[in-house]
Each structure stands twice: as structure tokens, then as C-alpha cells.
Amino acid sequence: MQVAKRLCSILLLPCIALSLCSCMPSHELKELGIVEGVAVDSSSDGFSLTFQLYNPKGGGGSGQEQGGGGSSEELVVTGSGKSIYDAIRNATLAEGRKLYFSNARIFVVSEDICKGSFSAIEDFFERPVEIRRDVNILVARGRAADFLTSKKGGKLISAMDFSDVIKNSYVSSKIVNMNIGTMSIRSSDGISDLTLAAVGVSKQENGDAELRVEGTAVLRDNRLAGYLTDLETRGLLWATGKVNSGILVLGLRNGGRVSLEVVKSSAAIRVSEAGGKPSVNISVKFVSGVAENENSNVNLTDKQEIQELEALQEQEVKKEIEQMIDRGVHGCDADILGLGMMFYQNKPALWRKISPHWKELLRTLPVTVTVKSSIGNLGNITQ
């Protein structure tokens, strides 16, 4: 009985503690402008911010652009200022409610800002306590505000909905999923460079806007250095072991096509030193399954034909990785794979020598890529 009492006490005490979290500082829901997405553009006096807010009333006040028809649940508010926080506080001049960022899902940063200095807003992402670490950071090709003010069927396209595109990026493995948390960890070493998903707005024939991910923005020393295409983005994900899905379409000599779905992958990057010079080896292993066999006449029960397919998919993946290296590492001189950090960790003596001119060295850094794969399943049919 005594033991049971003690056990009950121990179980109850955390409950009491949880209820003592208190309601201070308290925020009345009706007094908060719940931010779902933020777009950051440059302006003549510093920064211009566009906020997409959740609107529980279904209506917007003066100075606010509403989704349309009163049925939309988003509205747009803007503010500008000398700094990001200044712009946020200035937005309340039009909105009235205090902007609340705990529910924000995406931050879209304009190309202009990234070309100038991304670090100006990096601090803003890291310092405040209200913003969650899992908010995605995107780079807009053009004005960031366009991204949050685009309409489809007369309604604002919800930032919340678009965040699902990033959340489900593993399906295509063509999107870099970088949130504030991973970005902060990555950039804090002062060596690695950032890659962020690039997004754009396109107009459809009926006038509706379409938001889509358009490759990856490469930032060198926190400045936009270039973009990777979809396939180069996948090359980046291959090299970092983040591809666990996606389709490889292989063109065969007979004109047919076989589509293979990636089941899982792993990657290892090894840095080495030869004659006082750095070199890098990237090895990737993956397993795929046949998803589609289009006029190829491939006999999937024939071991030799399977091996040929495996060799083909290895070539394809190797090509994607090499293209990524050519453009992102050699072309942009950007350490998007975190290679410098690896030299620092594994070859500190060499790093001491090469670190002063590391970014210049990236241009000619020899990188070898080895890919091994296997086809793990054929689906329900043998041809």
C-alpha cells in the first residue's frame, strides 16, 4: 500500500507540474495575427515584409488584401522598416494585431536579399524564441511578396498548403528541405555554405498562379552564387544520403524506357590527402525497384539484363552527382557538401594549410564519385 501510494504520488506530481506551466505570458487569440508565411524583400529603406495571416473571421480590415469572396482564410499584411524586426512592428500599423510567428510554416526570401547579404536576416531566424525551428526557408526567384500574394481561383494560395510541398519533398527527392534549425546548425561552423529550395510563380492559361519549386539556390558566403536544376538538386541529395524515394527514368538502346523507383540510399563522403593536396571521394549505394517498363522488351527475370539496368541507373546517378559538383562546387565555389568541415574534422593539419584559400581551392578540388546499386523488386509482373 505504501509503495502504491508513493508510485501514485510520483505519477501525479508531474501532472501538477504540467498544470503549473502558468498562462504567463498569455496571448489572447483574437489579439494575435497568426502568421503562416513571411516574404522578405528589399526596399529603399531596408526591408519590406509581406505576411500571410490566418484569418479566423474570414474578413480583412482596411489596408489588408483579403483572399477573396470572404471565404478565404488568409489575408495579407505588409510592413517595411530598416531591419526585419522594425518591419514586423511597422506591419502592426496596418494590422493592429500583434504578429504571432509560432504557427509560421515558410519564410520566403527574395533573390535581391540573397544577392546582397543573406546573413542580414540569418540572425533574425536564430535569435527570437517565438519562431519554430522547423520553419522552411525558401528563396524566391524574383520578388518574394509575389509568392504569398498569388491567387488561384480568386483565392490566395495558402502558405500552409505550400509548406506541404516541402514536407513531402522526399517523394520526388528533388527538393532541398532546409528549415531554420538545420540551417542554423549548418551555417554556424563558418565553413559550410547553404543550399535552399528555390521557388517561383508561374501564370497558367486561365490566369491562375502556380507556385512551384524550381531547383535549389546556392549561397556562397551567404550570398546567392547560382542555382541547381532539379536533377542537380537530386545529385546533392544523393551525395548527402537523403534520397529515399523518387523516380529514375532510364532510356534504353532499343528506344524503350524503364522507370525505377528508389527505395533507399546511403552515402559516404571521404576526404583524403595526396601529396599535401586535398581530394574527396563520394560513394553512394542505393536500392531501387521497377516502377514502369515502357516498350523496352527487357526480360526482368534475366540476371544479365537486370545487371545492365543496374549499371545504367548507376551511370544516371553518377551523372546527377557530377553535374551537381560541376555547377555547385566547382562552378559556384560553394562548399555545399560541407567538405571543409570534413577536412577540419578528419585532416586538421591539412585544413590548417588550406583553410585560408578554401573557397578558391573548391574550383579545382578533385572529387571522385562511385555508385553501387541493386534492383530490389520487380513489381507484380516479370516483363
Site stretch for another protein (CB under 8 A), options 39-47, 90-98, 104-112, 187-195: 187-195
Nearest approach, Cβ of 122 to another protein (angstroms)?
12
Nearest approach, Cβ of 134 to another protein (angstroms)?
8
Under rule CB under 8 A, how many of the chain's residues touch another protein? 24
17 binds another protein (CB under 8 A): yes
Phi/psi for 79 (5° steps) reads -160, 150
Out of 98, 132, 318, 359, point to the residue binding another protein (CB under 8 A): 132
Query: Residue 347 contacts by C-beta under 8 Å, 6 or more apart in sequence?
Result: 271, 272, 273, 278
270 binds another protein (CB under 8 A): no
Task: Write the DSSP string, 181-239.
Answer: HHHHHHHTTSS--EEEEEEEEEE-TTS-EEEEEEEEEEEETTEEEEEE-HHHHHHHHHH
Please, which residue, 182 or 279, has the CB nearer to another protein?
A: 182
Return the ∠ at Cα 102 (arms to 100 and 104), rounded to 5°: 90
3 binds another protein (CB under 8 A): no
Out of 4, 21, 29, 274, point to the residue binding another protein (CB under 8 A): 21
Nearest approach, Cβ of 34 to another protein (angstroms)?
16
Q: Are 107 and 181 in contact (CB under 8 A)?
A: no
Out of 1, 4, 20, 274, point to the residue binding another protein (CB under 8 A): 20
CA-to-CA separations, 167 to 9, 229, 239, in angstroms, rounded: 41, 19, 20
Unique residue bearing C-alpha cell 548527402: 240
14 binds another protein (CB under 8 A): yes
Please, which residue, 59 or 348, has the CB nearer to another protein?
A: 348
Please, which residue, 19 or 380, has the CB nearer to another protein?
A: 19
Out of 7, 8, 93, 185, point to the residue binding another protein (CB under 8 A): 185
Out of 247, 300, 306, 341, point to the residue binding another protein (CB under 8 A): 341
Residue 56 preceded by cis peptide, ω within 30: no
Q: Which three cell numbers stand for residue 194?
A: 547553404
Q: What is the DSSP letter of 179?
A: B
119 binds another protein (CB under 8 A): no
Site stretch for another protein (CB under 8 A), options 110-118, 252-260, 297-305, 344-352: 344-352
Please, which residue, 31 or 294, has the CB nearer to another protein?
A: 31
24 binds another protein (CB under 8 A): yes
Please, which residue, 297 or 346, has the CB nearer to another protein?
A: 346
Unique residue bearing C-alpha cell 529550395: 197
Site stretch for another protein (CB under 8 A), options 137-145, 179-187, 223-231, 304-312: 179-187
Return the ∠ at Cα 60 (arms to 54 and 62), rounded to 5°: 135
Task: Please report, to the nearest 10 degrees, the dihedral formed by the alpha carbons of residues 160, 163, 168, 169 taken in order.
Answer: 170
Length of the chain, in residues: 383
190 binds another protein (CB under 8 A): yes
Q: Are 327 and 226 in contact (CB under 8 A)?
A: yes
CA distance 322 to 329: 10
Query: Which spans of this chain sit near another protein (rule: CB under 8 A)?
Result: 10, 13-14, 17-18, 20-21, 24-25, 129, 132-133, 181, 184-185, 188-190, 341-342, 344-346, 348
